[in-house]
């Protein structure tokens, strides 16, 4: 609570110098060790305007290798950022393994500015919980996260504003936002108390720092960071694995068993229905554009289930300026040094657009689980992470469709054989497909778990019988159209 | 010229169907072959509003694997995009090797909208030349580039607008921009003629397509794309290397020889000057922020020349919210599948910010040349490419500083030995450093060529004597301050 803080806290110049000499050395070494241990660190700096964030930050960063940190200034969202889920811009700025991301203002700005009416974007009531889920995912991944609030009194702030305004070089620093904060100091303080009271956690703690004296604040923050880094480094990898994989109770009932693989449609109905549905989806795409509804469609399914052909039928009449198809393969480059979902945050659609995924974030629970590319605690954690990811998209207005195109093992074999025999289809079949086929049972069980744990009322799985491709195509088209139409009806 | 185009060109439905059946097959196969050959393709679609770009594009893309293309809609620049060099947003959207990037409107929009006063951003008079240099770099890299203008008459456009406005689902499509174009049809047409007359090249040709009949336009464009892909695929790699490395005349005079390595500064002067210069740079940083001037600083130099320590002194008093230090190592992930400078376009600073590079795009002319990571025609081409890159930054308002920190071979040896002996410096020295040292002469020659070919009046190289680190630090600080102050003085 802000009222508990002793704003008179002060440090003499000599004590400050002495303390910083040691801290500079410690932080320099710790940065290298964190790099060696590949631990990412996230430091969020909030505080009153003119509390001295810039000055303190500058001093703390001096001993560090500047190639190893990035400072992000979080302003109000731009018009373009408003077209994406709220938290996307923070996800995209997360530090890669071994580096430090410093946020001058942070995701909390959404709430804090909202409390004093500075931010015109509405603040959803569940935003604090969502932010907690966001932080949890990052700390589970191994990030060190520290959050500071630099505190000064209302009178102190008024004094500082006055001084800045008197200096022509700095007078621009006191603007509309600053004045609003001074005027509504109490409301802002109440929101800070609320956030700290409810948004504090052991893995992502809040620290309120008295900042009347910048030397005191500097030493306090540098000390806190150094200690947090030391703690993180001292933990053995085995201790870190405290986050356990949830016990997956593979039910004796596998939802795939219930899929009626004989589902089919006759040629005439197909030829009639297909263009009709395609035109319907095109009209709905326009409606989505007008209502600024983003649409996310994830395709999963067995090799040779017909995902590619299905997507082609789905997009056939769509305006190509409004959709994108992401083919998902193994992560590469920076993607490997970031939390698993980071790369999917990069690909979420803009409001009014469609993003279609040919394989998706569910790879974590399928290929990465079965092939052992992810550890059990990694993929075990992913059930909840993926649910949180999709909830984020939906809370910010998206329609999320998830398709599992199901075929029988016999049908797969027949299709593999045909691909092998047919010259212009040969490129479609690889040794890996045959190897995956041998693990049919493991994939079957993993899929069952995945569906049981990630099918939610707002992001349900649609299991599509795929032995007859035409039936699968109509079903996908129909499902997307129905889901979109329902959301549009709600908006009207 | 638009007036040469037969706007009555038409195709019967049956002829269209027949043609597209063949073209669909051809394009499907060609897309796979282009992927196999790792050739990127860039297709820019311009044309009158309501000329049918969306419809034509949709039809042409139907036979393609949607995972292999991306469609970008180019709108007016957002406020954030205006904070970056004009061409940056196009660079960042370039297709990776083996994929197709389709631009619905393109970089030409900057000029075309400017001609009818729709785009409020000023159009610099040399923009067409700059766009040509941009295209040249991409085609030199191996990209297939095609540019189409869909042409309809003014009357036809008026008719189409009328029809759209009568349909409540589509009436939003006729807005301010559309009406401005209809009203100033002639001015727009004149600019199109100007662009086609001057911006056409063999490697990045313009095609004006009559679009009164959308079937005719569709076949025409699909046919043009297919032919261009076939041509690209039929060229043997050896033929493609038509772009030759420019003959580098290594002058007998090496500018490095002229560096006075005895340059030094006494302790007292250093202790007095350093904080003074640092405070000066901090004030200049504020000025840059106010004047929205981006600053780019590239550090190159021998291993152990003292780049890291120099950068630390330079940034010491800077507001950390306004600068970023990029440590440049080998390219990774998508960076390897893009033109060499693509990754540096990602890192150019926002207006008012500093971007400092610890090693830079000059790696192409140093390590990549000496170690053979780039072919002679690749690095040979880079002199002009790098000059064009820096010219782009400067034309859009940036200050560009380039430092070569020079030390003698003896001084390097002494520093290597010291690092090896000192426990807390050991991490700084690797086997690679010793290996590079053996190639001192090759690097020496490469550096000489680099300086001779890329030192320009607006982006000069500063050769800094580095045997005495303190001298080098003051020189870097002073140079940056002087260059910035000169630009600010111009603006006032």
* Cα(B414)–Cα(B303) distance, integer angstroms: 12
Query: Among residues B350, B289, B355, which one has the least CA distance to residue B82?
Result: B350
Among A57, A315, A427, the residue with its CB nearest the CB of B32 is A427
From edge to edge, which strands make up the β-sheet containing B100-104? B69-73, B100-104, B41-47, B144-151, B206-210
Measured at the alpha carbon of residue A312, what is the angle toward residues A307 and A316, in degrees to the nearest 5?
155
Query: Among residues B48, B246, B232, B253, which one has the least CA distance to residue B144?
Result: B232
Hey, are the CB atoms on A315 and B104 less than 8 Å from each other? no
Nearest-neighbour CA in chain B from A320: distance (Å): 6
Hey, are the CB atoms on A321 and B170 less than 8 Å from each other? no
Average pLDDT over residues B46-68: 94
* Cα(B257)–Cα(A342) distance, integer angstroms: 49
Quick check: A339 and A138 in contact, CB under 8 A? yes
Quick check: A110 and A123 in contact, CB under 8 A? yes
Tens digits of residue pLDDT in A456-479: 999 999 999 999 999 999 999 999
Category of A31 on φ-ψ map: left (φ > 0), alpha (ψ -120 to 50) or beta: alpha
Tens digits of residue pLDDT in B291-338: 999 999 999 999 999 999 999 999 999 998 899 999 999 999 999 999
DSSP for B201-264, written as a single string: -SSS-EEEEE-SSHHHHHHHHHHHHHHHHHHHHHS-HHHHTTSPPPP----S--GGGG--TT--
3-state secondary structure of A399: strand
* Cα(A245)–Cα(A238) distance, integer angstroms: 14
Nearest-neighbour CA in chain B from A317: distance (Å): 7
* Chain A residue with the nearest C-alpha to that of B311: A66
Tens digits of residue pLDDT in A117-153: 887 778 899 999 999 999 999 999 999 999 999 999 9
Burial B443-468 (b: 16+ CB within 10 A, else e): bebbbbbbbbbbbeeebebbbbbbbb
Hey, are the CB atoms on A320 and B71 less than 8 Å from each other? yes
* Cα(B41)–Cα(B229) distance, integer angstroms: 8
Hey, are the CB atoms on B320 and A54 less than 8 Å from each other? yes
Among B102, B320, B356, the residue with its CB nearest the CB of A57 is B320
Quick check: A64 and A27 in contact, CB under 8 A? yes
| Mutation site, A50, A64, A66, A279, interface B, largest B CB count within 10 A | A66
Nearest-neighbour CA in chain B from A307: distance (Å): 11
- pLDDT band at residue B348 under the 50/70/90 scheme: very high
- pLDDT band at residue B248 under the 50/70/90 scheme: low
Considering only CA atoms, give the Rg of chain A: 26
Q: How many CB atoms lie within 10 A of CB A460?
A: 15
The pLDDT of residue A240 is 52
First to last CA, chain A: 43
DSSP for A7-72, written as a single string: TT----HHHHHHHHHHHHHHHHHHHHHHHHTT--EEEEEEE-TTS-HHHHHHHHHTTS-GGGEEEE
Average pLDDT over residues B272-282: 97
* Chain A residue with the nearest C-alpha to that of B29: A424
Hey, are the CB atoms on A78 and B73 less than 8 Å from each other? no
Phi/psi at A364 (nearest 5 deg)? -60, -35
Average pLDDT over residues B208-236: 96
Q: How many residues does chain A have?
A: 492
Nearest-neighbour CA in chain A from B56: distance (Å): 10
The pLDDT of residue B53 is 94
The pLDDT of residue A244 is 53
Measured at the alpha carbon of residue B484, what is the angle toward residues B481 and B488, in degrees to the nearest 5?
130
Chain A positions touching B286 (Cβ under 8 A) are: 169-170
Among A71, A79, A308, the residue with its CB nearest the CB of B321 is A71
* Cα(A131)–Cα(A329) distance, integer angstroms: 29
Q: Between chain A and chain B, how many beta carbons pairs sit less than 8 Å apart?
A: 96
| Cβ within 8 Å of residue A18, ≥6 positions away | none
Phi/psi at A251 (nearest 5 deg)? -65, 150
Q: In the block, which residue shows the tokens 């810039």? A: A54
Among B65, B169, B333, the residue with its CB nearest the CB of A334 is B333
Nearest-neighbour CA in chain A from B449: distance (Å): 28
Tens digits of residue pLDDT in A55-107: 999 999 999 999 999 999 998 888 888 999 999 999 999 999 999 999 999 99
Query: Among residues A143, A64, A74, A144, which one has the least CA distance to residue A104?
Result: A74
* Cα(A121)–Cα(A381) distance, integer angstroms: 32
Among A65, A169, A358, the residue with its CB nearest the CB of B308 is A65
Hey, are the CB atoms on A66 and B311 less than 8 Å from each other? yes
Instruction: Please check the confidence at residue B35 and state whether its pLDDT lies above 60.
Output: yes
What are A91's two structure tokens? 């996800």
Chain B positions touching A488 (Cβ under 8 A) are: none
The pLDDT of residue B244 is 54
Hey, are the CB atoms on A317 and B73 less than 8 Å from each other? no
Query: Among residues B189, B289, B166, which one has the least CA distance to residue A73?
Result: B289
The percentage of chain B sitting over the pLDDT mark of 70, rounded to a whole number, equals 97
Among B316, B324, B333, the residue with its CB nearest the CB of A70 is B324
* Cα(A251)–Cα(A449) distance, integer angstroms: 8
* Cα(A454)–Cα(A366) distance, integer angstroms: 13
Chain B positions touching A324 (Cβ under 8 A) are: 70-71
Tens digits of residue pLDDT in B451-473: 999 999 999 999 999 999 999 99
Tens digits of residue pLDDT in A193-218: 999 998 888 899 999 999 999 999 99
Query: Among residues B348, B347, B349, B358, which one has the least CA distance to residue B314?
Result: B358
Burial A444-457 (b: 16+ CB within 10 A, else e): ebbbbbbbbbbbee
Strands (E), B59-193: 69-73, 100-104, 144-151
Q: How many CB atoms lie within 10 A of CB A165?
A: 14
Nearest-neighbour CA in chain B from A472: distance (Å): 19
Chain B positions touching A84 (Cβ under 8 A) are: none
What are A376's two structure tokens? 């059990």
Hey, are the CB atoms on B319 and A58 less than 8 Å from each other? yes
| Mutation site, A320, A332, A342, A424, interface B, largest B CB count within 10 A | A320
Quick check: B46 and B148 in contact, CB under 8 A? yes
Among B54, B67, B315, the residue with its CB nearest the CB of A321 is B54
Nearest-neighbour CA in chain A from B290: distance (Å): 9
* Cα(B448)–Cα(B383) distance, integer angstroms: 13
* Chain B residue with the nearest C-alpha to that of A321: B71
| Mutation site, B314, B319, B320, interface A, largest A CB count within 10 A | B320
Chain A positions touching B424 (Cβ under 8 A) are: 29
| Mutation site, B28, B65, B66, interface A, largest A CB count within 10 A | B66
Quick check: B305 and B466 in contact, CB under 8 A? yes
Instruction: Please check the confidence at residue B50 and state whether its pLDDT lies above 70.
Output: yes
Among A315, A332, A333, the residue with its CB nearest the CB of B66 is A315
Hey, are the CB atoms on B321 and A54 less than 8 Å from each other? yes
Quick check: A314 and A480 in contact, CB under 8 A? yes
Tens digits of residue pLDDT in B390-444: 999 999 999 999 999 999 999 999 999 999 898 777 888 888 899 989 999 999 9
Q: How many CB atoms lie within 10 A of CB B25?
A: 13
Instruction: Please check the confidence at residue B195 and state whether its pLDDT lies above 70.
Output: yes
* Cα(A95)–Cα(A70) distance, integer angstroms: 8
- pLDDT band at residue A237 under the 50/70/90 scheme: low
Instruction: Please check the confidence at residue A245 and state whether its pLDDT lies above 60.
Output: no
* Cα(B51)–Cα(A249) distance, integer angstroms: 58
Burial B189-214 (b: 16+ CB within 10 A, else e): bebbeebbeebeeeebebbbbbbbbb
Residue A309 DSSP one-character state:
H
Listed in sequence order, the DSSP H helices in B338-492 are 342-347, 367-370, 376-395, 409-421, 431-438, 440-454, 469-491
3-state secondary structure of A104: strand
Instruction: Please check the confidence at residue B235 and state whether its pLDDT lies above 70.
Output: yes
Hey, are the CB atoms on A104 and B290 less than 8 Å from each other? no
């Amino acid at each position: 609570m802000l009222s508990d803080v002793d704003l008179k806290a002060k440090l003499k110049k000599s004590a400050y110098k002495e303390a910083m000499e040691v801290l500079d050395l410690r932080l320099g070494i710790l940065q290298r060790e964190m790099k060696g241990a590949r631990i990412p660190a996230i430091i969020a700096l909030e505080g009153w305007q003119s509390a001295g964030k810039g000055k303190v930050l500058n001093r703390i960063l001096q001993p560090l290798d500047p190639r190893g940190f990035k400072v992000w200034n979080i302003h109000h969202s731009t018009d373009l950022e408003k077209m994406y889920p709220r938290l996307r811009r923070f996800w995209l700025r997360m530090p890669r393994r071994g580096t430090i991301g410093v946020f001058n203002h942070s995701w909390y700005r959404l709430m804090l500015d909202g409390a004093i009416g500075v931010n015109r974007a509405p603040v959803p009531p569940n935003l604090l919980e969502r932010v907690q889920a966001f932080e949890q995912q990052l700390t589970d991944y191994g990030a060190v996260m520290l959050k500071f609030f630099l505190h000064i009194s209302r009178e102190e702030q008024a004094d500082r504003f006055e001084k800045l305004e008197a200096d022509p070089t700095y007078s621009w620093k006191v603007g509309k936002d600053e004045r609003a904060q001074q005027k509504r100091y109490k409301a802002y303080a109440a929101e800070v108390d609320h956030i700290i009271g409810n948004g504090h956690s052991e893995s992502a703690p809040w620290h309120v720092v008295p900042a009347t004296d910048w030397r005191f604040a500097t030493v306090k923050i540098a000390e806190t960071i150094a200690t947090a880094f030391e703690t993180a480094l001292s933990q053995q990898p085995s201790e870190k694995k405290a986050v356990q994989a949830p016990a997956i109770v593979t039910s004796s009932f596998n939802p795939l068993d219930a899929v009626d693989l004989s589902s089919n449609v006759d040629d005439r109905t197909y030829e009639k229905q297909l263009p009709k549905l395609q035109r319907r989806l095109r009209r709905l795409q326009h409606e989505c554009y007008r209502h600024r509804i983003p649409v996310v469609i994830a395709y999963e399914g067995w090799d040779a289930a017909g995902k590619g052909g299905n997507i082609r039928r789905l997009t056939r009449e769509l305006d190509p300026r409004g959709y994108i198809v992401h083919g998902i393969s193994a992560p590469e480059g920076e993607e490997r040094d970031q939390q698993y979902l980071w790369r999917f945050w990069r690909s979420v659609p803009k409001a009014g657009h469609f993003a279609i995924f040919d394989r998706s974030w569910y790879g974590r629970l399928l290929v990465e689980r079965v092939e052992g590319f992810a550890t059990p605690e990694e993929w075990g954690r992913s059930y909840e992470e993926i649910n949180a990811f999709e909830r984020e998209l939906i809370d910010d207005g998206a329609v999320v469709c998830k398709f599992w195109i199901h075929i029988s093992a016999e049908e797969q074999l027949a299709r593999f054989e045909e691909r092998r025999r047919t010259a212009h289809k040969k490129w479609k079949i690889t040794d890996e497909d045959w190897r995956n086929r041998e693990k049919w049972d493991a994939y079957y069980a993993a899929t069952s778990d995945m569906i049981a744990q990630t099918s939610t009322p707002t992001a349900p799985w649609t299991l599509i019988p795929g032995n007859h491709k035409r039936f699968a195509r109509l079903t996908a088209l129909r499902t997307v159209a129905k889901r979109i139409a329902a959301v549009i009806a709600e908006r009207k």
